[in-house]
A = this chain, B = another copy of it.
Amino acid sequence: MIVSEEKIRVRYDEVDKMGYLYHGNYAGYFHVGRTELLRKLGLNDKELESQNLILPVIEMNTKFLKPVQYDEIITLKTYLNELPKTRIVFYYEIFNEKGDLVNEANSSLVFVHNDTRKPMRVPQSILKRIETYFNT
C-alpha cells in the first residue's frame, strides 16, 4: 500500500452559499492527492508527458460525511491499495481539524495514449516502480 498525505486550506472560491466546501470541488483535492502520490513514485506529470500518457478519470464515488468549512485546514490521505491493471484505483479520506473523518471517496483512472486517445494497459516501466513500493 502506498499512502500520501496533504494539508489543504479551504479557499473562499471553493465554498458555496451554505458556507461549505462545495461538493464538486472535492474532485480537485483528490487530484492533488494522487498527483503527490504519483510524484513520490517518480511519476510526476513531466515524466508522464514524456511518455505521452494521460490519465482520465473514468469513475468517482464520494461520501460527504460532514461539511467542511471555509478556511479550515483539512488533511487528505490518498491510498493506492492494489497493483493497477487496466485501471488504477485511488482511495481517499479527508479529516477536518478536529480529526473527524469528513469524506470517503475513490476514483478509477485509465492510462491513455495522448495521440490515439485509446486506453492501454499500465506501461511496464510504471508498473515496476509501483511494485517496488508494494514489495517493501
* Interface residues in chain A, defined as those with a beta carbon under 8 Å from any beta carbon in chain B: 11-20, 22-28, 31-32, 35, 44-46, 54, 56-65, 67, 70-71, 117
Contacts and interface: CB of A to CB of B under 8 A. Distances in A.
Given A13-B31, A27-B13, A35-B12, A71 B45 contact: yes
B15 A16 contact: yes
Judged by DSSP, the binding face of A is mixed
A127 to B, nearest CB: 22
Contacts of A28: 11-14, 24
Given A44-B71, A60-B23, A16 B18 contact: no
A20 B13 CA distance: 11
Contacts of A117: 67
